[in-house]
A and B are shown apart, each in its own frame.
Chain A
Amino acid sequence: MSLSLLEGNEAIARGAVAAGCRFFAGYPITPATTIYNSMLNLLPPLGGIVLQGEDEIASIGFCLGASMAGFKVMTATSGPGISLFSEHISFAIGSEIPIVIVDVQRLGPSTGSATRGADGDINFIRWGNSGGLPVIALAPVDVKDCFTLTMHAFNLAEKLRCPVFIASNKEIGMIRESIDLDALEKPEIIDRSPAPAGKPHLPFQVTEGQSVPDFLPIGANVPVRQTSSTHSQNGYITTDHEEIAIILDRLKTKLESAIDQFSFYDLIKTEKAETLIITYGVTARAAKAAYKELKEQTHPVSVLILKTLWPVPETIIRQTAQSCKQVVVVEMNLGQYVKEIQRILPNMHIDFLGQMNGQLITPRQIMEKIANG
């Protein structure tokens, strides 16, 4: 076995390129900048395009334009930039424009601390769009996940025509870590479904059994329409409330009904464990360390590490929690995802451990929470 030393952010860039991404636009921001740097090293020699926008709004706007021309696109930022992305996140949701958006989270609120980690944007990622429709968010735990989940993110963006977020963290993105590149999981690449030739193209039409419209790029042989306005299947603005309802319902169900197909997670199961730790992101690493220490002791635990955060993978959460008496949710904020767990497990005793001070939650803190509730 040979090992390589790779930074999480570079692994995201390499995963993107492996997934077929050939367009990146970004704006410098710590701790996401090294994704931009890496894309600038990787893409132009491959004939790809890397642009630096005049701001984050422009960067994601470039991406939406290029995605509509058929490119697989990605942008990357942190808290202050994801805030500026908001209007274009809504556009990508409502107009079904595939894009991968990386949020290398830093301590907020606002400009916060540029070089301190956090998972404070988890609910912003889900709810930071006008209209409140669902998005997909994947959360890497280590450098290996940065690569593989980015590939999955592209596949999901293409397949379901939606924005897909990578909810990273300074403590993952800017960590250098050993990785066995030969052992990397590389999912098969999925491209957006092309519209069949020879038929009139309605850009938002779905046929029976389909939840996502076929795609023709702007620049195809027949004119293609795209609009941020409430549209009919022909891509023109509409006031037909029945058709509006059908299309908006579809935007919700196309993601929520497919969640079991992309519920990524790690489950470290201990027989007869009464306590289940539910966590994600860099905090999962502390939970794993706590698990190892507790394994030797009298209070064994199971750990559910969620790598798909949105839509909420309810099935796996319910199934896993079923046999437990205590659930401990641990996250690097003051309580966001725990609300989802409380919603899904209304009759369960749920303890919460959160922290927002720029420091990693330690295995010791988790063990104390388990012991003291």
Chain B
Amino acid sequence: MASLLNDQRPPVFCPGCSHERITHILDKVFQNMGLNGNQIVIVSDIGCSGLFDTFFHTHALHGLHGRALTYAAGLKMARPDLNVVVTMGDGGQGIGGAHLLAACRRNLDLTLLILNNFNFGMTGGQFSATTPQEAQIGSGFLNQLERPLDICQIARMAGAPYATRCSAFRKDLVKEIQRAIEFEGFSVIDIWGVCPGRFTKKNRLTPQLIDAALAKLSPQEGIVSENVRKEYGRHYRELAAGQKIAPTPLKIEAKFNPPQPNRQEVMLLGSAGQRIITAGEIVCLAGLSAGLHATQKNEYNITVLRGPSISELILSPEKIDFTGIKQPSVIVALAQEGVDRRRELFVNLDDDTIVLQINGVNIPPTKAFIHRVNLQTQGIRKSDWALASVAILAKLKRVISLEMLQSALEIKFKEKTLVDSLILVSEVKIN
């Protein structure tokens, strides 16, 4: 195969930079693999490694610092047939650390080449996540305070099924990069090189010294057997193929007449675990079965199983503009937490409003009409109180009718849940 190097744009690295060597090695890899430029995407990060895409006649995406793996993931999921090679420096590895960890865990078929030259070459030789503590660098003494990390150890612990630590001067680097690209899964090569423009001005680093430093570490070469598993994209497509088409929203025909002809506002003031939101939805569905417009606005704490749970419902023969409650027809006081959250509401009520006060809930002084119910003595479980209250409203012919409620339950529930809810509705007593 012909070289994929861009003859209009030769490499522009500093003399002696190992990036230039890797540029030619990568070209050899592509040639050996028999790839055309349109079968490859080079996704390049920021810094000197970010220049790589411009030297090749391949697809190219150059983006923001540390984020190269994110674009690469989107590309590979969209086009699994492409060979996606990411070039990144030790700087990109640092700022994009979360993306490296996630890429290792995800195991999408990408090849990450980290051109590790132990400093930020382009901006003045500041320290990176791999700079030795004893190095003289462009960040004063700060690198003495931070321990460098070992990319391959991290990749291995995070689940990368292929990780190699090696020198840019390694003789068979062509073969090693080819192996990494051909591996089906996430592969990372931590390639140690020299930065003559910055790092080696004050620090001695030669191919021999790199070899000596590498020899001190326990070697990491190629497949990490304990991490080998199904490639993410392949696995995703297998699982996605088994997903059922989502149903379209149910269309509800108007078949009943509502007990009141005008706009009705209902507040369910309860607590988490009382299935307030579900009861609210049932009221709305019941409204729809009478051709009414409906809105449901909920309020609950982000701790799902504790605290108040409030549902504000509006049923109206006209389209609903303002979704806030202005003049509630009904307030259901189901739990103290909910009532306390909306205490101010009770002051301005008049006797057009009915407050359904469930046993054990204290309500502030109010002029509203109060209807007390003891659900506990009726043997109803707390988690059914909201639905039981809605049933009481239906039996009182307030807001919804029994046939509207039954129709809503048939829409919302199936099988045993439906049977149980219908029994609950028929058995609950209004006092």
Please list the residues of chain A having a beta carbon within 8 angstroms of any beta carbon in chain B: 1-6, 10, 14, 23, 25, 30, 41-42, 44-47, 49, 51, 53-55, 57-58, 60-71, 73, 87-88, 91, 114-115, 171, 174-179, 181-182, 217-229, 235-237, 282, 285-286, 288-289, 292, 359-360, 362-363
Contacts and interface: CB of A to CB of B under 8 A. Distances in A.
B78 A23 contact: yes
Contacts of B302: 30, 114-115
B99 A176 contact: no
Interface stretch (B192-200, B216-224, B281-289, B352-360): B281-289
Contact of A70 (B78, B102, B322): B78
A223 B58 contact: yes
7 contacts: A2-B254, A3-B294, A47-B240, A53-B102, A181-B251, A229-B62, A360-B323
Interface stretch (B13-21, B68-76, B204-212, B387-395): B68-76
Contact of A227 (B62, B251, B298, B321): B62
A219 B236 contact: no
A218 B252 contact: no
B38 A228 contact: no
Contacts of A217: 79
A178 B288 contact: yes
B78 A66 contact: yes
Contacts of B60: 223-227, 235
A46 B240 CA distance: 9
A225 B53 contact: yes
Contact of B288 (A3, A30, A171, A224): A3
A49 B41 contact: no
Contacts of A6: 249
B73 A51 contact: yes
Interface in B15-68: 37-38, 41, 43, 53-54, 57-64, 67
Given A176-B296, A178-B288, A282-B323, A65 B249 contact: no
B345 interface: no
Nearest to A38: B246
Contact of A69 (B38, B74, B293): B74
Contact residue range for chain B? 35 or more
Interface in B302-354: 302, 320-324, 326
Contact of A58 (B58, B99, B294): B99
A112 to B, nearest CB: 12
A64 B236 CA distance: 20
A177 B323 CA distance: 10
Contacts of A69: 74-75, 78-79
A285 B295 CA distance: 12
A301 to B, nearest CB: 14
A236 B54 contact: yes
Contacts of B299: 115
B63 A228 contact: yes
A54 B99 contact: yes
Interface of B: 9, 37-38, 41, 43, 53-54, 57-64, 67, 70-79, 81-82, 98-99, 101-102, 236, 239-240, 243-246, 248-254, 281, 284-285, 287-288, 291-302, 320-324, 326
B297 A171 contact: yes
A58 B253 CA distance: 44
B98 A58 contact: yes
Nearest to B247: A41
A73 to B, nearest CB: 8
B294 A221 contact: no
Given A4-B251, A285-B322, A219 B281 contact: no
Given A179-B249, A181-B249, 10 more contacts: A5-B294, A30-B302, A54-B99, A61-B67, A174-B298, A225-B53, A226-B62, A227-B61, A285-B321, A363-B321
B79 to A, nearest CB: 4
Contacts of A218: 41, 59, 61, 75, 79, 82
Contact of A55 (B98, B236, B287): B98
Contacts of B322: 285-286, 288-289, 360, 362-363
Contacts of B248: 181
Contact of B72 (A65, A73, A87, A236): A65
Nearest to A60: B70
Contacts of A223: 37-38, 57-60
Which of B37, B79, B298: most chain A Cβ within 10 A? B79
Contact of B64 (A10, A65, A171, A228): A228
Contacts of A44: 239-240, 243
Which of A3, A68, A229, A360: most chain B Cβ within 10 A? A3
B297 A219 contact: no
A47 B74 CA distance: 15
Given A66-B77, A175-B297, A57 B252 contact: no
Contacts of B67: 57-58, 61, 87-88
B285 to A, nearest CB: 6
Which of B64, B252, B287, B292: most chain A Cβ within 10 A? B64
A69 B125 CA distance: 35
Contacts of A3: 251-252, 254, 288, 291, 293-294
Given A44-B243, A64-B74, A91-B63, A292 B284 contact: no
A217 B81 CA distance: 14
A236 B71 contact: no
Which of A61, A224, A288: most chain B Cβ within 10 A? A61
Nearest 8 pairs of A and B residues by beta carbon: A65-B74, A61-B70, A69-B78, A65-B71, A54-B102, A44-B240, A66-B74, A62-B74
Contacts of A362: 322, 324, 326
A65 to B, nearest CB: 3
Contact of A115 (B73, B252, B301): B301
